[in-house]
């Protein structure tokens, strides 16, 4: 008995062309994001980790950006529209860094980079470079390529983030305290010879005196006393269904016009109770646009 071969419908040509274009775009054959499965992401620092000889730098609270040698992208592949003066003089090789307006300016930075047309707001930002993702070798070697470039091609809007070698845990704690007292978010530590790999890597850690997470707004609770007539606390829900209140960290303007119902917010906390509720939660900011 002979079986008739299964009849296969031809794939639509536009779908095939789109797939091939995506592959070319991702691998640098067409202008686009750097050729990587995804960005290199940090784990959280743990006290028992031996980081002597690692490199540390301030963790800048901005929007992560990728320069592919031609255009500027977000970590999720969203094409940005910087003012030409902002990117003038950047190299033809890929760079990775933070689009940063200074400490405590995350919301302003986000509003600047989200606009779809070039505008003068970009001149308030800097491209703070922390890696050269397509360069071979360890972290120190990769970053040296960027340092060499900007030594001979200085830019008003780009710089390589300084790195300091960690002597010991006490050195790390002292630097973390200094940065946080100055209004910074925390530190990043990287193994000096670490290769660039996509996804979470044990070779790069974020160091803070607190933890942070995201939750969805499910209620607005009225304030009392000086907050009478405006927001007192947000009722929020974690992904696992845990609900709790966030009552601190808001500016007067945010209490007058609080995050909308259903919005995702980032908050900081200091460990969790046995119930799973975060200890001492405090509002940090609205979660960035998913495209960023």
The pLDDT of residue 290: 60
> Where does the chain hold its CATH 3.30.470.30 domain(s)?
40-207
Fold classification of 40-207 is: D-amino Acid Aminotransferase; Chain A, domain 1 (3.30.470)
Class of domain 211-286: mainly beta
* Residue 9, C-beta contacts closer than 8 angstroms, at least 6 positions apart: none
Residues of the chain with pLDDT under 50: 1-32, 34-36
Q: How far is CA 3 from CA 7, 53, 86, 198, in A?
A: 12, 67, 65, 46
The pLDDT of residue 211: 85
> 253-291 burial, b if ≥16 CB within 10 A, otherwise e?
ebbeebbeeeeebebbbeeeeeeeebeebbbbbbebeee
Q: How far apart are CA 62 and CA 102, in angstroms?
A: 8
Nearest 5°: the CA angle 235, 241, 244 is 30
Query: Percent helix, strand, coil in the chain (nearest 5)?
Result: 25, 30, 50
Token pair for 64: 């992560």
**pLDDT tens track for 84-113:** 999 998 999 999 999 999 998 888 999 999
The pLDDT of residue 60: 95
Residues annotated as catalytic (active site), given as ranges: 59
The pLDDT of residue 289: 66
The pLDDT of residue 62: 93
Please report the beta strands in 7-79, taking only residues with DSSP state E, as ranges in sequence order: 40-44, 55-58, 63-67, 72-74
Q: How far is CA 285 from CA 117, 132, 151, 157, 186, in A?
A: 25, 29, 36, 25, 16
Q: How far apart are CA 269 and CA 226, in angstroms?
A: 24
Spatial strand order of the sheet with 158-160 comes to: 72-74, 63-67, 95-100, 126-131, 158-160
**pLDDT tens track for 152-194:** 999 999 999 999 999 999 999 999 999 999 989 899 999 999 9
Q: How far apart are CA 88 and CA 157, in angstroms?
A: 9
For residue 127, which of 71, 184, 208, 185 has the smallest C-alpha distance? Answer: 71
Give the chain's radius of gyration (CA, Å).
Answer: 22
> Where does the chain hold its CATH 2.40.50.140 domain(s)?
211-286
Q: How far apart are CA 212 and CA 204, in angstroms?
A: 17
């Amino acid at each position: 008995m002979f079986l008739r071969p299964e009849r296969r419908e031809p794939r639509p040509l536009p779908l095939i062309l789109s797939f091939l274009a995506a592959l070319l775009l991702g691998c640098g054959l067409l202008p686009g994001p750097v050729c990587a499965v995804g960005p290199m992401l940090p784990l959280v620092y743990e006290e028992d980790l031996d980081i002597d000889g690692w490199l540390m730098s301030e963790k800048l609270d901005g929007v992560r950006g990728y320069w592919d040698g031609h255009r500027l992208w977000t970590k999720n592949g969203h094409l940005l529209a910087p003012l030409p003066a902002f990117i003038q003089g950047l190299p033809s090789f890929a760079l990775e860094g933070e689009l940063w307006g200074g400490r405590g300016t995350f919301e302003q930075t986000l509003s600047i980079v989200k606009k779809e047309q070039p505008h003068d707001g970009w001149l308030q930002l800097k491209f703070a470079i922390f890696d050269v993702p397509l360069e071979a070798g360890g972290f120190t070697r990769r970053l040296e390529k960027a340092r060499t470039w900007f030594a001979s091609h200085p830019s008003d809007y780009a710089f390589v983030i300084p790195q300091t070698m960690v002597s010991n845990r006490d050195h790390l704690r002292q630097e973390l305290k200094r940065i946080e007292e100055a209004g910074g978010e925390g530190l990043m530590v990287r193994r000096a010879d670490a290769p660039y790999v996509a996804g979470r890597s044990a070779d790069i850690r974020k160091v803070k005196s607190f933890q942070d997470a995201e939750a969805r707004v499910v209620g607005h609770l009225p304030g009392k006393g000086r907050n009478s007539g405006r927001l007192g606390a947000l009722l929020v829900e974690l992904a696992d269904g845990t609900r709790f209140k966030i009552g601190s960290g808001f500016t007067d303007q945010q209490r007058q016009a609080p995050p909308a119902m259903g919005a995702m917010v980032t908050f900081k906390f200091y460990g969790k109770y046995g119930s799973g509720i975060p200890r001492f939660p405090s509002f940090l900011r609205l979660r960035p646009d998913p495209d960023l």
